[in-house]
Amino acid sequence: MRGVVFDGKQARVVDDLEIRDPGPGEVLVAVAAAGLCHSDLSVIDGTIPFPVPVVLGHEGAGVVEAVGPGVGHVAAGDHVALSTLANCGACGDCDRGRPTMCRKAIGRPGRPFSRGGESVYQFASNSAFAERTIVKAVQAVRIPKDIPLTSAALIGCGVLTGVGAVLNRAKVGRGDTVVVIGTGGIGLNVLQGARIAGASVIVAVDTNPAKEEVARRFGATHFLGAVPEVASVLAGGADHVFECVGHTGLIRQAVDLLDRGGQAILLGMAAPTAEATFLPAAMFLDKSILGCRYGSSRPQHDIALYAEMYRNGTLLLDELITGTYPVEDFAKAASDAHEGRVARGVLTF
């Protein structure tokens, strides 16, 4: 079968992948569509260290082909959106409703694929850039069949991360002020999360003026080209600032933008060894810096919720897709994403 494999030097489309049968508690999914996220590019450029060879992709949707013993919530023929969170469901964090903190869901890559008799790693417990993949049952979330799978594919990462960061982690309230630095796929979902939460002022900051139209469509009330310009809109600072780029200088600027009691939420993926600075004295005005893993989400609950919000017109999904590519055109899709020519590109099978 076809898939995108990174061997440590280059990522390319291969047609000789094999996948084992699903075991207990596992689901075999025929992937229909997969979003290309910057996290996939970060594996290729080394920002995210990962063992190789690995099948890339972590944002997908498809149709269940088979289930292993013990799986009862989905069956063959069901449409599912895939999460990357292979949490155990039994530890203290899972029991407290914090599956993103499950230690068994982090840093334990499986190897359900093979090529020429050699095992191949799975990225983010997902590997959606393959015609078929195997996930834990908890990662397969049934969705209505009237939702296009190309749109549903985006829920499992970009939407969960961006909207979830607003609603679950920051808990933005009605009337709050929000600044979003970076309006790529994650930033756009932060913008619509802030809109859904009822924020009164939503400032999008991006150096690319071509992104203004889509940023406003997703919820931005203002669009600015540089962080210092935010003072012209929010002279006293913002209640919430989301850094969606992963640049240490922008992290510092996000902290500096905060009003008293404000919080900076870090969503952009910086290099593992990167260091950022801030003025500790400023934090005594009840300011906070918050990390956020995967939108602090509960995927089985949140994916189903966001699917329904899409159906009733509250959540935008179709509008996120600015390019679709057959999987054979992965190189072009990756180039377009790297150059910022698309909000989200979607690979199709």
Hey, what are 274's tokens?
């990167």
Determine the Cα–Cα distance for residues 44 and 52; give it in Å rounded to an integer: 10
List Cα–Cα distances, 265 to 65, 98, 190, 288, in angstroms.
38, 18, 11, 8
170: DSSP letter: I
Q: How confident is the model at residue 108 (pLDDT cuts 50, 70, 90)?
A: confident
Determine the Cα–Cα distance for residues 255 and 277; give it in Å rounded to an integer: 9
Name all contacts of 96-100 with Cβ < 8 Å and 24+ positions apart. 97/298, 98/296, 99/138, 99/297, 99/298, 99/299, 100/293, 100/294, 100/295, 100/296, 100/297
List Cα–Cα distances, 24 to 39, 77, 113, 182, 243, in angstroms.
29, 19, 17, 41, 40
- pLDDT over 80 (residue 107): no
Which of 104-118, 239-253, 254-268, 298-312 has the least mean pLDDT? 104-118
Peptide bond into 53 cis (omega under 30): yes
Place of tokens 């990756």: 334
Q: What does pTM read for this prediction?
A: 0.94
What's the confidence (pLDDT) of residue 341?
82
Q: Which residues contact 153 (CB under 8 A, 6 or more apart)?
A: 32, 33, 34, 35, 59, 60, 61, 81, 128, 346
Residue-wise pLDDT for 181-204, tens only, equals 999 999 999 999 999 999 999 999
Please report, as a single letter, which amino acid is at residue 150: T
Residue-wise pLDDT for 31-79, tens only, equals 999 999 888 999 999 888 899 999 999 999 999 999 999 999 999 999 9
- Give the rounded percent of residues in the chain with a pLDDT score beyond 70: 100
Determine the Cα–Cα distance for residues 226 and 204; give it in Å rounded to an integer: 10
What's the confidence (pLDDT) of residue 340?
79
What's the confidence (pLDDT) of residue 132?
98
102: DSSP letter: -
Q: Which residues contact 52 (CB under 8 A, 6 or more apart)?
A: 6, 7, 8, 121
- pLDDT over 80 (residue 287): yes
Determine the Cα–Cα distance for residues 251 and 288; give it in Å rounded to an integer: 12
What's the confidence (pLDDT) of residue 38?
84
What's the confidence (pLDDT) of residue 229?
98
Q: What is the mean pLDDT of residues 223-240?
A: 97
What's the confidence (pLDDT) of residue 211?
94
What's the confidence (pLDDT) of residue 272?
84
Phi, psi of 321, deg, nearest 5? -85, 115
Q: How far is CA 344 from the centre of its chain?
A: 11
List Cα–Cα distances, 340 to 72, 167, 184, 335, in angstroms.
41, 26, 8, 9
Place of tokens 């203004």: 212
* Residue 36 β-bridge partners: 345
Query: Where do the DSSP E strands lie in 123-257?
Result: 132-136, 140-142, 177-181, 201-205, 222-224, 238-243
Q: Which helix (H) or strand (E) holds 80?
A: strand 79-82
What's the confidence (pLDDT) of residue 271?
83
- pLDDT over 90 (residue 343): no
Relative to beta strand 60-67, strand 258-266 is unpaired
- Give the rounded percent of residues in the chain with a pLDDT score beyond 90: 92
Cα radius of gyration rounded to whole Å, the chain: 20
Helix axes 38-45, 330-338, angle to 10 degrees: 100
What's the confidence (pLDDT) of residue 250?
97
Hey, what are 65's tokens?
């082909």
